[in-house]
Amino acid sequence: MGSLKRKIREIEGGSLIIGHLPLGCQLCTNGSKMVLFVTGLCDSSCYYCPLSLDRSGQDVTFADEMPVSDDGDILYEVRTIKGQGVGISGGDPLCNLERTLKYIHLLKREFGPRFHLHLYTSQTNVSEEVLTKLHNAGLDEIRFHPQSSDWSGVQRAVNIGINVGIEVPAVPGKEDDLKKVAKRGEDMGVSFLNINELEASETNFEKLVSLGMRLTSLASASIDGSASTAKEVLEWSEDNLEHISVHFCSARFKDSVQLRRRLERRLKQTIRDFEERDEQDPLLILGVIRAVHGRQLDHDQLVVIHSTLQNQFDVPTVLMNIDENRMRIEIAPWVIESISDQLKEILVDMKDLEIGIAFEYPTWDRLQTMFDPL
């Protein structure tokens, strides 16, 4: 053992580290890492898998929240967060190796050799041939989620020279298993162990509850006992491990640090002339004219509303937009607040119309958090 004992350090959001935070995680902390969900296909069946039903088992691709229809979608999303790297995930990206290799080549060609790419896989027995292809394409870091005792692929990845990590959830009460994983990883020359706080989702919640697990609180998706399990493993690591970095990534970090910073970056790149930003949170504020819940305006109605705003209220076209995806008119909030009453009178024959101020995340899907009717 080395004479200098390594110490646990607390980093942001209640996360903990011994050693060095992996580069992939450093960029994630900045909010500058896009998640490229290559495919929902996977040859493992983890009971705690949090994937939503529209992704789990489906051969679909997403760049952050955006469904990918062509390569341009991926490059666009990287640019909208001023990305410095991409985390390649699934499912299991190795279940569609051809697509994964294509995207690694694309990203390195477009953004250069310093653009950091890491990949998650459960295939700890991956062949030297596949690892060589990934390495030659430009993969910088591979993170294994072991499902079997065959770690031959982990050793091959270490030997080839890719930066190798193990990434697993902290299942409450499974401290001994995590310690064995950490020790085995260190003995093989693995660089880091990431231990993620276990979280519930709508797809895994029933299974977790059936195993006796519960939420830490109703306000949180984290599972009670997961953080304390991880902390015990880090305390053990101080005395029992020499080289491998051990990182506990908290649920709070993912929400309040990583996601928030990515949204801030995306907001700055995508905010339009007619939108304002919330003072506290990375939210866009805009006026919206749409049909009431359960109904939808048609194209002709949107054109009528748009021309009414332009011709009767002199609203400049730069301060409004026809959103064909959501079948609504988007307009500067300060404009709609001043004209909403008059507009309702003019559009009185249009039934089931809703006018108000929307608060939305700057994600591709524009998740709405609040709507104030006018």
Q: What is the DSSP string of 43-112?
A: S---TT----TTTTT----EETTEEPSSHHHHHHHHHHTT-SEEEEEES-GGGGHHHHHHHHHHHHHHH-
Structural contact between residues 297 and 352, judged by C-beta atoms closer than 8 angstroms: no
pLDDT in the model for residue 1: 46
Q: Is the pTM of this model over 0.95?
A: no
pLDDT in tens, the chain (374 residues): 444 679 999 998 899 999 999 999 999 999 999 999 999 999 998 988 888 988 999 999 999 999 999 999 999 999 999 999 999 999 999 999 999 999 999 999 999 999 999 999 999 999 999 999 999 999 999 999 999 999 999 999 999 999 999 999 999 999 999 999 999 999 999 999 999 999 998 999 999 989 999 999 878 899 999 999 999 999 999 999 999 999 999 999 888 899 999 999 999 999 999 999 999 999 999 999 999 999 999 999 999 999 999 999 999 999 999 999 999 999 999 999 999 999 999 999 888 899 999 999 999 999 999 999 99
From-to residues of CATH 3.20.20.70 in the chain: 9-269
- CATH code of the domain made up of 9-269: 3.20.20.70
pLDDT in the model for residue 220: 83
The helix or strand, by DSSP H or E, that contains position 318, with its residue range, turns out to be: none
CA distance 177 to 171: 10
Strands (E), the chain: 9-10, 16-18, 33-39, 62-63, 66-67, 85-90, 116-121, 141-144, 163-170, 192-197, 245-249, 276-277, 284-291, 320-323, 328-331, 353-360, 368-373
